[in-house]
Chain A
Amino acid sequence: MHVELKDITKTFGTLRANDSLTLSFAEGRIYALLGENGAGKSTLMKILSGYQPPDSGTIFIDGRAVTFQTPADALQCGIGMLHQDPLDVPNLTVLDNFMLGRREGLLPKRKAARQALTAHATRLGFEIDPFRYVDSLTIGERQQLEIVRLLSLGARLLILDEPTTGISAEQKHMLFSALKRLAAEEGMTVILVSHKLEDVAALCQEVYVLRGGKLVGHRHMPTPIDELVTLMFGQSLPRPTRGAHNLGAEILRAESVSLTARRLTVRDLSLSVRSGEVIGLAGLDGSGQSDFLRACAGLQPLNGGRILIAGVPIHGKGYAELLRMGVAYAPSGRLEEGLVDGLTLSEHFALTTNNGLWINWRAANALAARQIARYNIRGAPHSPIQTLSGGNQQRTLIALLPENLRLLLLEDPTRGLDVESTAWVWQQLLARRDQGAAILFTSPDLDEIVTYSDRVLVFCEGRATLVEDLDDSARNPAERLGELIGGKRT
């Protein structure tokens, strides 16, 4: 099956996510769609797989123009998409998920479905127990189930969106060899959407590179990594070096902490953080890194062990008390947890200066105006917070943090921000660090963790492993962390 995208354009408001893109995918070949966050990869693939219609442009399958109303339409034409977070129903069994959406009569043919499931899985070298509940599977196993399901429904082109985030090295190897076999032996076309160059080099034959919604390159592999990086970012980025900065006294100490995360219990976590340090907390979503942050802010109880801030145990202290001790916590849900939907900027600043019964509106407005100028927030003191863009909301959140903090606890501080806002946020955070604050942050983006952390605490299967020598090792640090996150012991 030969698939062609011609002049695809998609805009969201003023943002041109896809700007007249023309790409072609031949049968039996493995492609990479490369680009940094926000380059337009996901938008393009959602268009190809029927989730969104393009504003203009056409999709051709074997020379015939097609339009998709729904992802089911796309799958009928042989185009299947594997989402980064597999789009399945966790509260159902593997077999139920496999059968869901198959077109057959009223009564399910369970036995036939089970046989088809096993047959397809065996062919790809996967082992899937049909009767397990999906919420007990790893991300890697859920991906395998989705691939098997898409194949059984006749997919001829598979789109994989960042499939190697959150799966073990072994699962990645299995996935890649299955994809290679599918392409070589059955003429399957594969598109890997990724910003991980190692994955692209290991799997793909051709590469399309997007930047700012435009197609900026088409290369056949092998292509030197540097060249791809140049295409992705405009110029070859040197790995940012961290200037030496002075570490001060110990500010945070965790002793044999044990706490309950969403699905698992983290045990025996010990950590000592000195002022001026940045610690990245890495791990699959829900592995306990966010829970540890909340525990340090006094927002989540410990099962065992203790946490000390500047030598004082925080047990029994509320967040308000910790805030007075110089600890601040910023959750990732900006509008859900960090800011108050419906209040204006002035009202937010008035909330943080809580002295007396009456609000001094003049002072609050003046403070808001001052902070707006200082933090370059695009908004006015009377703007309701929800009318600001994500980047400006994040700026506000940082502007609201009190001065003279000793410990910043940040959950995914750059979630959903574009490159410019991300850089700005970190510039502010590092300025706080240089003033002597210690920073603990979580991020699903390993590159962000590698770039800004002095040390990294990796959460995996209830254990927390401290990686101290990020730069010393000859190996790519992000890849090394990825393996640790996926459960590979080093």
Chain B
Amino acid sequence: MDEALVRTLADIVKVGAPIVLAAIGETITERGGVINLSLDGSLVLSALVAFVIGTGTGSVILGTLAGISVGLVIALIVAVCSIELKLSQVAVGFVLTLLCRDLALFLGIPYRNAQVFPATFLPIPVLKDIPTIGPIFFNQDLFTYLSFIAIGAAWWWLFRTKAGLTLRAIGERPQAAFARGVNVNAMRYLYTAVGGGLVGLGGAAYTLGVLPTWSDTGIAGNGWIALAIVIFGGWYPLRVAFGVYLVAGLRTVVTNVQAQVPPQVVELLNALPWLLMLFTLFLVSGPYLDQLLRILPPRLHPPIRTILRARPPSALGTIFEQEGRH
């Protein structure tokens, strides 16, 4: 394959890694019935903390762990507010996202464009030498590999394990899961924390991987993108990952052609992913899908329905209370 193309694809996979981690984290959280809307702020704040700890100690591991902890703590705030205090998840998440971003901007002043953290480039022996595949997937940094693992692990957990079945059930009909002996709220804490941890890992992936310095401009906004992609991906990890790479791909294309085209075109191209997503959302909502199917041969209907089926977890954003206990 053309070397430039391979390099572009490798770039896409790398640039997409933090968003993949955040979007997969949010997918897990929302599958359990909790909306963690603090994603964007959480991403920025964990990126800063990971950078500060990482550069301070000189350890990628410690920096990463610090980033994960920040995401996890913010997610737990959302969980406590929702489960114990019965507050609106949307309101709490929204306030948190603004708070965390501004907090990160304030705390990050001394670190603005400070030292450049050495990139954690980690080619995998043998695998990196496979033609085409190797340079794209196995000649990357640690976080890119973690993003691959997150996609596969989330899919496997959700659709191949008992615990994943329980996770889907608590997001769909918590009463039924409760009747089957599941401690719904404990599970919601767990998966909100896991999802938040992945968001924090995504933050760390920015400052310790993709853009190894501290600057919020490359980060803020990506959390909202991840949230949108979760919906676009219909809460399926593989589709979510596809959505992320689609957006990352279009962005990379824009960066590459930036010099050759007028700025208006660049801005239009930047808006393209959103138009595409809006179009897809129109498509997957009932009547339009039916109209689309009408022009296709009936043989193709079931697979297309399966691919485009996007229904939020039925109990998303709701509070579970056991009846009759006061």
Contact = CB atoms under 8 A, between A and B. Distances in A.
Most chain A CB atoms below 10 A, which of B162, B168, B322? B162
A103 B182 CA distance: 11
A201 interface: no
Contacts of B117: none
Interface in A54-99: 70-72, 75, 81, 87-92, 96, 99
B179 A108 contact: no
Contact of B323 (A52, A90, A99): A52
Q: List 6 tightest A-B contacts by C-beta distance, closest first.
A: A101-B180, A72-B181, A52-B324, A87-B176, A89-B173, A71-B179
Contacts of B165: 92, 96, 99-100, 108
Interface of B: 160-163, 165-166, 168-169, 172-173, 175-182, 311, 314, 322-325
Contact of A107 (B161, B177, B182): B161
A53 B177 CA distance: 19
A278 B169 CA distance: 43
A51 interface: yes
Interface string A27-52: 00000000000000000001000011
Contacts of A71: 178-179, 181
A106 B172 contact: no
Contact of A101 (B172, B182, B314): B182
A105 interface: yes
B160, B176, B322, B323 interface centre (most CB from chain A within 10 Å) = B176
A90 B311 CA distance: 12
Given A101-B180, A104-B162, 5 more contacts: A81-B179, A99-B162, A99-B165, A100-B165, A101-B181
Contacts of A88: 173, 176
Contacts of A105: 162
B172 A92 contact: yes
Contacts of B323: 46, 51-52
A81 B179 CA distance: 9
Interface in A278-292: none
Contacts of A91: 168, 172, 311, 314
Contacts of B324: 46, 51-53
A91 B165 CA distance: 11
A84 B326 CA distance: 24
B162 A89 contact: no
A93 B196 CA distance: 29
Is the contact region of chain A dominated by helix, strand, or loop, or is it mixed?
loop
B194 to A, nearest CB: 15
Given A70-B181, A75-B181, A106-B162, A53 B325 contact: yes
B161 A106 contact: yes
B176 A89 contact: yes
15 contacts: A51-B324, A71-B179, A72-B179, A72-B182, A88-B176, A90-B173, A91-B311, A100-B169, A100-B176, A101-B177, A101-B181, A103-B181, A106-B163, A107-B161, A108-B161
Given A52-B324, A107-B161, A108-B161, A89 B177 contact: yes
Contacts of B180: 72, 100-101
Contacts of B163: 106
Contacts of A46: 323-324
Nearest to A96: B165
A464 B28 CA distance: 44
A104 B166 CA distance: 13
Given A52-B323, A91-B172, A70 B178 contact: yes
B161 A89 contact: no
Given A100-B165, A106-B161, A89 B325 contact: no
Nearest to A86: B176
Contacts of A108: 160-162, 165
Contacts of A104: 162
A89 B179 contact: no
Contacts of B322: 51, 70
A101 B173 CA distance: 13
A106 B153 CA distance: 14
A88 B174 CA distance: 10
Contacts of A100: 165-166, 169, 176-177, 180
| B161, B165, B168, B311: most-surrounded residue (chain A CB, <10 A) | B165
Contacts of A89: 168-169, 172-173, 176-177
A87 B169 contact: no
B144 to A, nearest CB: 27
Contact of B325 (A52, A81, A101): A52
A70 to B, nearest CB: 7
A88 B178 CA distance: 10
Contacts of A96: 165, 168
A106 B168 CA distance: 15
B175 A87 contact: yes
Contacts of A102: 162
Interface centre among B166, B181, B314, B322 (most CB of A within 10 A): B181
Nearest to A101: B180
A308 B173 CA distance: 41
Nearest to B175: A87
A80 to B, nearest CB: 10
Nearest to B168: A92
Contacts of B325: 52-53
A90 B313 CA distance: 11
Contacts of A101: 166, 177, 179-182
Nearest to A76: B181
Contacts of B178: 70-71
B95 to A, nearest CB: 23
